[in-house]
């Protein structure tokens, strides 16, 4: 019988995206590396993080913070693949 383990969305996405395989084209990889949160989103994340660290975060704010964290993890996974793809192709801008 196989042991049941908890799997996060990030782990599932990593299995699909395979960041250890540098197989994106240079053009796609460079575009992915330009993905960034807006200043507005960064400001909101900082507000949520401060509320969380103070222990004053509401349940709704906690859910929003967790969504930002999941999206950030997705971006990190895809950008890792992009950097590896550029490195594998010999690009210095990885």
pTM of the predicted model as reported, rounded to 2 decimal places: 0.82
Q: Is the pLDDT of residue 31 over 90?
A: yes
Whether the pLDDT of residue 8 is over 70: the answer is yes
pLDDT, position 70: 93
Q: Give me the helix-helix angle, 59-88 and 26-33, nearest 10°.
A: 150
Kindly list the structural domains of the chain, giving each domain's residue range(s) and its CATH number in brackets, ordered by start.
37-89 (1.10.287)
Cα 19 from Cα 43, distance rounded (Å): 28
Rounded distance, CA 81 to CA 19, Å?
4
């Amino acid at each position: 019988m196989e042991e049941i383990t908890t799997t996060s969305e990030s782990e599932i996405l990593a299995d699909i995206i395979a960041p250890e395989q540098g197989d994106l084209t240079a053009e796609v990889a460079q575009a992915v590396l330009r993905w960034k949160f807006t200043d507005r989103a960064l400001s909101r994340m900082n507000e949520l993080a401060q509320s969380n660290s103070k222990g004053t975060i509401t349940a709704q704010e906690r859910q929003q913070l967790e969504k930002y964290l999941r999206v950030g993890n997705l971006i990190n996974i895809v950008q890792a693949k992009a950097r590896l793809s550029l490195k594998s192709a010999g690009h210095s801008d990885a």
